[in-house]
Structure 1
Amino acid sequence: MKYTAGSLMWWAYFSAGDPGYLVQIDGNELVSRSLESAQQCLFSQDYGTAFVHYLLALNLAPALKDFANESFRFTLFKWADELDSLGRIQDLFDCYEQALELFPVDEVIVNSMGEHLFRMGFRDEAAGHFYKALKLRPDFPEAKENFYRVANWLVECWHFLMLSDNGRNHKYQLAIKKAVEGGCSSVLGIGTGTGIMCAKMAGAAEVYACELSKTMYELACEVLSANGMADSIKILHLKSLDMEIPKDIPNSREIRRHHSPVRCLADTEDSTEPYTTERLSRLRGGYIQLTQPFTALDIDFNNVQELEGLCSREVTQLRLCVTQEGVLDALAVWFQLHLDQVNHLSTGPQEDTCWEQAIYPIHNTVKCGDEILAEVSCKDSYLRLCCTAIIRDGHWTHNVTNGPPKILTANPEAELCSALAGLQTNQEISSCAFMLESSEMALLNNTVYHNSFQKAMRGHNSQTELDPIYVLDVSEVFSVLSLMAAHLGFDSSEDKQINPGLVQAYSSVEKEHHQTMFRLLAKGNGMLESALKFWLSHVEDDSAAIILDCIETCGLIRQKLMEKATLARCLLEDGGHIFPERIVIHRMLVESDTLLQESAVQGTELTLEFSIAPFINQFTVPVHMFYKCTHLSEPVELFALDLMNSTANYTDKEVRVQVSTSGKVTAILFWYQIHLDSELSVSTFEDSHWKQAAVVIQQPLTVSRGERVKLRIQFHKSSISITQKYSKILNTHLHVKFNDS
């Protein structure tokens, strides 16, 4: 008989008391006692031991698997959560592997393992599990939403834009064909784009490619098979720098010449990308060009010596003349790519291209005639641009630094603290630098959001006589709301604590550098260290107020929001409050060709004569970020979620949306009005850190002004469904589901 690791643990557990006891009972009795013990362990919440009992019983009696399936799932998920909280990650995945040996086609277990993998950063592996769960049950809403979520990470929208960028693709094809015909018969592709197929089509004798992403590697294998090139192009699931010659590819002179190991010394303290990316042409509110374009760097990729010396070359200093007065927010960078002497591409903001521009953040005010002193270098494999000074009338008027803001320092970046809604910065504290995500920075800069929360919490606390007041912030991002709550008993005018015991604030942040930042901010604002604590698994006291992080920066509702709201209500004491108390979802019919192009490869035509769209479009997701579009209707309230009272939530509703402008409905734009209490609310539509999202309609509907579109909204568990049927003229039915995640 095959024993799993779990069953061996069970034997050891019971044989310790009486080494001869187990051999004296037959299999049926052993199974019966194991199931009984599992139930007893469940009642006592000993999920680990219950899991082991179930493993033994179901391995001995597979016929009982259907009978025990629900209880086994429950036990597995509870034990996995406990292992996760203890940091026993390997044990967690071992348990899932044992569970899948028993239930290899259980879509719920497969999906759950994928959720753990995704949360821990194993996105490729998570995608495989979500995809398998969907194959097992195509109508499984949780697996579908999870697959959409991971697909956004693994196959970003620029892949669809790139495959639809005919100008780019054609120029690459011409340049590759010219190179192959010129004698480059051996080709190595870094990544698995259309270039490797173009090379083979042009007559290359040997074509190789390496791909780090497992998802993209498997996708490329499917594409090559469909196009009859699986046997003539070799793809390696490797990082380019990990390839070895001749182990992975032959020792070809041409490949060796173009693939010499060019390495840069990485600065371990600062080896992250120094920029973000934006498409300047569609920024909300636009942008103002403050200087003329300038050349930052010129690189010959065929010159190995030049590439080798790139990281060691001296820093280049540039003096840029300011041609327009304004606020210097960033340096925007793009490139001109010369494929050969004839074919070239530009990724500038005025070009119709699939590329975005690189953004290096800065903050300073400049006047016409000023000079910006900038430094250009290539450090740790990244192009770095740094604005070091502003020169006015021949004098250095400002010293400028790029990079993450240094919290609690006497420099312009300390303005970030104004986003903490009234917290005062103590400049005497020593300098400490912290790295924050751009989404976290955007949240901190949303002063309307923070001010509204502060007013709502102050209003709630004035109505309660509880002492102390317990406030729990379970936000899933870096949030200073708990710090603001602790600050409610602080009198900034007298620089003292009014009532040190008035508020006991808890924050759910887990990252150590976030906790350190919290402590420094609290100390810098004269608050007692005991006023702020970090909550990881439970709070001994009931809370007077619980802050839920409801909306992701991308514009989607957080995963399992209603389940979290239910738990929050259980933790509330009498008179307690959830912030926010209610969320109202608004919708608008819009027309946007960009949304269509970013959601999938459009049309039925082949890409450079290759069949690619059917495979890449497997990763199409219905919800995308909102960009410039034409509004075809007025805003309509579609749905409301009451977080304080779940019984007030309806489960089915129909809304008729009147078309105000004739056009082509390509998407349904949605956003939220977040009601903190009966008087205060915050919108995610404009001037906020949240982005708007839209459900894309892959088959657009032509509408005329005055006509109506019927939307049916259904809410079940944690899933919102939108069913849309256009008037009575078109017999078209669109069913779009998106989880409240």
Structure 2
Amino acid sequence: FLECTTRPKRTRRHRRVQREDAARNELVSRSLESAQQCLFSQDYGTAFVHYLLALNLAPALKDFANESFRFTLFKWADELDSLGRIQDLFDCYEQALELFPVDEVIVNSMGEHLFRMGFRNEAAGHFYKALKLRPDFPEAKENFYRVANWLVERWHFLMLSDHGRNHKYQLAIKKAVEGGCSSVLDIGTGTGIMCAKMAGAAEVYACELSKTMYELACEVLSANGMADKPLPNPSQTGRVIPAGATVFGDAVQSREIRRHHRLCASSVGGLDLSAVGQIYSPVRCLADTEDSTEPYTTERLSRLHGGYIQLTQPFTALDIDFNNVQVPNYRIEPSGVLDARPVWFQLHLDQVNHLSTGPQEDTCWEQAIYPIHSPFNTVKCGDEILVEVSCKDSYLRLCCTILTANPEAELCSALAGLQTNQEIPSCAFMLESSEMALLNNTVYHNSFQKAMSKLLVSLKSTRRSQQSDTELDPIYVLDVSEGFSVLSLMAAQLGFDSSEDKQISPGLVQAYSSVEKEHHQTMLRLLAKGNGDDSVLLQRPATEKLWSAIILDCIETCGLIRQKLMEKATLARCLLEDGGHIFPERIVIHGMLVESDTLLRESAVQGTELTLGFNIAPFVNQFTVCSSAGLSILTGWGGVHLY
């Protein structure tokens, strides 16, 4: 009886499974068919949904449909990108990676979208993962080397090669562990965790924000036989390494620092810059500010272009004794222009071991630079500078006041400052340091003015020969420079210029700038008005009009060629009228081989010697940005032919 009653139940269950399989197969088949139809009609969003449904129901088909799925994903992602639906775009990639978690092409493509949207660290992580999945994948390799410095910053190589620093830290850690500190926390995953383990610490814990550095540390620990997972063990007493620090400061004059942080030029290429008011870099230090951005940048003073002049003797700005912060003031020795306050420190690792990061030391550290933004900063021998030192928002802040040696001169200077301030517009604008340096480059802008004038005269001559009417069609100029650029204003100003030759008719040039940031647009409008141009300078021409000249921002201020320059040039050619010009017309790239130990040390950990006895170099050198096989490095620079 039992046997008879169980047999039909098994049959019914089997038939139900068969019916479910048949229904699922039918749904999968219909979804794949619908996906193909949607692809044919270029409805990529619907096609993507159909593929998701089909491949989730039938994972066995993933290999068969992989290429079509990728194509659909990439087309739909581009469409979402153009529509500004960024969250939807990344949701699609997350869904795709759930289906294909080890598909290096999809991982790399997501990284490219992240990079274009400014998420450089996240993009770098995806490129690294794609390269790990397929080491010979050329697109991922190219992308990875482009952003490797965001994954592992260049200072890591210098620090690992700084034998003096590493040895002193190792001695201090060993002394602390042997003195009873058996539980160690390393803030930042570095060699400290291995030094602590080697010294005999019972428990070691590391705190790391970078996922890449965490994964790299795991690889290094495994290769050095320390793969056991460390765990935290808070103790009631302990020791901090370094135990303290003495911070030193200076006052310097430096043209190189000045041009990156405040406006030095009163005019460029015929444009009066005073109408825009005060312009400063984002690196500034205010004692009472609520801004949490870094108040300083860093430079290696010993290698600063053009050098620097010390206006004072180095002074002790701060001893890290938080119960007794001293406020220093110091006397100016040579007269000059106060451009910056460099700061460095001496680390007291323990009572015996010390490290200095001063400008004259051969160390991996640079010096902190607090730039001066005020244009009223000329100092004379005998003047004093009062420095206010504070620590706020986790940043050391140094703010100074100049005390003149002559009270009468100080009063006159103050009155002159008041009179000057009445004429200065109340508005103030911030530019990135690289944008500030470019705006201060008068040679660049004057060269542009001469070449653009020549181009506009040529375009006018061509119009005159082709048009019989007396009134010529406008010459439309488009500036697509990245960041802040006054080139469009300079082009327009040439059209309004009443110079002696009057080769370019007033109002003939209509220029447009593609800047997107609101404060950049405001600055351009103020400059246009201040230079006598109240026209429709920033308005696009009618949609059917083509451009007479398109200005491309070819070279970054650091000397690198702009990414995707050739694609931009190709697009620009499609937007030009007959006889129109891309500006500059060509770039000549030069190169040579040089021998430089400094460049090599900044690019990779050198030599075969183990770092503190640990095998580290092969792992961190995966992130090098150039070959370090020998002492020869290919260096390049470009010559831009404007017209």
Q: TM-score, normalised by structure 2?
A: 0.70
Query: 1:281: Cα distance to partner?
Result: 1.0
Q: Secondary structure at the match of 1:334?
A: strand
Residue deviations 1:237-265 (CA, integer Å, cap 9, x gap)? xx99999999x999999999999999999
Query: 1:50: Cα distance to partner?
Result: 4.8
Structure 1 residues 459 and 671, CA, compared in 2 at 3 Å: closer, same or farther?
Answer: farther
Q: Secondary structure at the match of 1:504?
A: strand
Write out aligned runs for 1:633-644 (5 A). Answer: none
Structure 1 residues 382 and 79, CA, compared in 2 at 3 Å: closer, same or farther?
Answer: same
Distance 1:257 1:369 in 2: 26
Query: 1:465: Cα distance to partner?
Result: 8.7
Structure 1 residues 557 and 25, CA, compared in 2 at 3 Å: closer, same or farther?
Answer: farther
Query: 1:353: Cα distance to partner?
Result: 0.3
Structure 1 residues 256 and 42, CA, compared in 2 at 3 Å: closer, same or farther?
Answer: closer
Counterpart in 2 of 1:411? Answer: 406
Q: Secondary structure at the match of 1:543?
A: coil
Q: Is the 8 A contact 1:160 1:601 kept in 2?
A: yes
Structure 1 residues 304 and 466, CA, compared in 2 at 3 Å: closer, same or farther?
Answer: same
Query: 1:174: Cα distance to partner?
Result: 1.2
Query: 1:514: Cα distance to partner?
Result: 2.8
Structure with the larger strand share: 1
Q: Is the 8 A contact 1:421 1:454 kept in 2?
A: no
Q: 2:240 aligns with which of 244, 259, 278?
A: 244
Distance 1:417 1:105 in 2: 72
Query: 1:502: Cα distance to partner?
Result: 3.6
Counterpart in 1 of 2:298? Answer: 277
Query: 1:564: Cα distance to partner?
Result: 1.7
Structure 1 residues 196 and 415, CA, compared in 2 at 3 Å: closer, same or farther?
Answer: farther
Q: Is the 8 A contact 1:475 1:547 kept in 2?
A: yes
Q: Is the 8 A contact 2:241 2:349 kept in 1?
A: no
Identity within the alignment, %: 90
Query: 1:372: Cα distance to partner?
Result: 3.1
Distance 1:466 1:284 in 2: 48
Structure 1 window deviating more from structure 2 (111-120 vs 455-464): it is 455-464
Distance 1:250 1:203 in 2: 46
Residue deviations 1:193-216 (CA, integer Å, cap 9, x gap)? 212221222222222221111111
Structure 1 window deviating more from structure 2 (114-123 vs 584-593): it is 114-123
Write out aligned runs for 1:296-335 (5 A). Answer: 296-300=317-321, 322-335=332-345
Structure 1 residues 543 and 53, CA, compared in 2 at 3 Å: closer, same or farther?
Answer: farther
Q: Secondary structure at the match of 1:462?
A: coil
Query: 1:474: Cα distance to partner?
Result: 2.3
Q: Secondary structure at the match of 2:126?
A: helix
Q: Secondary structure at the match of 1:149?
A: helix
Structure 1 residues 551 and 415, CA, compared in 2 at 3 Å: closer, same or farther?
Answer: farther
Distance 1:55 1:371 in 2: 71
Residue deviations 1:522-566 (CA, integer Å, cap 9, x gap)? 34434xxxxxxxxxxxxxx99992222222334332222212211
Query: 1:437: Cα distance to partner?
Result: 2.0
Query: 1:595: Cα distance to partner?
Result: 1.0
Give the number of the structure whose alpha-carbon radius of gyration is greater.
Answer: 2
Distance 2:344 2:392 in 1: 18
Q: TM-score, normalised by structure 1?
A: 0.62
Query: 1:512: Cα distance to partner?
Result: 3.2
Residue deviations 1:438-493 (CA, integer Å, cap 9, x gap)? 22222222222222223333999999996333322222323232333343334489
Query: 1:599: Cα distance to partner?
Result: 1.0
Query: 1:384: Cα distance to partner?
Result: 1.6
Query: 1:585: Cα distance to partner?
Result: 0.9
Structure 1 window deviating more from structure 2 (425-434 vs 114-123): it is 425-434
Q: Secondary structure at the match of 1:169?
A: helix
Structure 1 window deviating more from structure 2 (351-360 vs 192-201): it is 192-201
Structure 1 window deviating more from structure 2 (455-464 vs 127-136): it is 455-464
Residue deviations 1:276-333 (CA, integer Å, cap 9, x gap)? 111111122222222110111111379999xxxxxxxxxxxxxxxx223333321111
Counterpart in 1 of 2:446? Answer: 451
Structure 1 residues 465 and 169, CA, compared in 2 at 3 Å: closer, same or farther?
Answer: farther
Residue deviations 1:107-163 (CA, integer Å, cap 9, x gap)? 333212012223444444322321232234433333222212322122111111111
Q: Secondary structure at the match of 1:583?
A: strand
Gaps of 5+ in 1: 1-23, 233-238, 306-321, 389-407, 527-540, 621-658, 677-741
Distance 2:555 2:157 in 1: 26
Structure 1 residues 245 and 347, CA, compared in 2 at 3 Å: closer, same or farther?
Answer: closer
Distance 2:579 2:283 in 1: 64
Structure with the larger helix share: 2
Q: Is the 8 A contact 2:254 2:339 kept in 1?
A: no
Query: 1:169: Cα distance to partner?
Result: 0.8
Q: Is the 8 A contact 2:24 2:57 kept in 1?
A: yes
Q: Is the 8 A contact 2:108 2:130 kept in 1?
A: yes
Q: Is the 8 A contact 2:172 2:350 kept in 1?
A: yes
Structure 1 residues 418 and 445, CA, compared in 2 at 3 Å: closer, same or farther?
Answer: farther
Counterpart in 2 of 1:376? Answer: 389
Structure 1 residues 580 and 27, CA, compared in 2 at 3 Å: closer, same or farther?
Answer: farther
Q: Is the 8 A contact 2:283 2:294 kept in 1?
A: no
Q: Secondary structure at the match of 1:218?
A: helix
Structure 1 window deviating more from structure 2 (32-41 vs 419-428): it is 419-428
Structure 1 window deviating more from structure 2 (542-551 vs 253-262): it is 253-262
Structure 1 residues 173 and 662, CA, compared in 2 at 3 Å: closer, same or farther?
Answer: closer
Q: Secondary structure at the match of 2:132?
A: helix
Structure 1 residues 117 and 663, CA, compared in 2 at 3 Å: closer, same or farther?
Answer: closer
Give the CA RMSD over aligned residues.
Answer: 9.7
Query: 1:504: Cα distance to partner?
Result: 3.8
Distance 1:34 1:190 in 2: 52
Gaps of 5+ in 2: 1-20, 230-234, 243-249, 262-280, 327-331, 453-463, 537-548
Structure 1 residues 62 and 199, CA, compared in 2 at 3 Å: closer, same or farther?
Answer: closer
What is the aligned length? 559
Structure 1 residues 104 and 218, CA, compared in 2 at 3 Å: closer, same or farther?
Answer: closer
Structure 1 residues 263 and 213, CA, compared in 2 at 3 Å: closer, same or farther?
Answer: farther
Q: Is the 8 A contact 1:186 1:252 kept in 2?
A: no
Counterpart in 1 of 2:44? Answer: 47
Query: 1:89: Cα distance to partner?
Result: 1.9
Q: Secondary structure at the match of 2:313?
A: coil
Structure 1 window deviating more from structure 2 (77-86 vs 425-434): it is 425-434
Q: Is the 8 A contact 1:124 1:215 kept in 2?
A: no
Query: 1:495: Cα distance to partner?
Result: 19
Distance 2:260 2:534 in 1: 65
Structure 1 window deviating more from structure 2 (255-264 vs 117-126): it is 255-264
Distance 1:224 1:290 in 2: 48
Distance 2:117 2:239 in 1: 27
Q: Secondary structure at the match of 1:228?
A: coil
Counterpart in 1 of 2:496? Answer: 490
Query: 1:568: Cα distance to partner?
Result: 1.2
Distance 2:564 2:189 in 1: 36
Q: Secondary structure at the match of 2:311?
A: coil
Structure 1 residues 34 and 331, CA, compared in 2 at 3 Å: closer, same or farther?
Answer: same
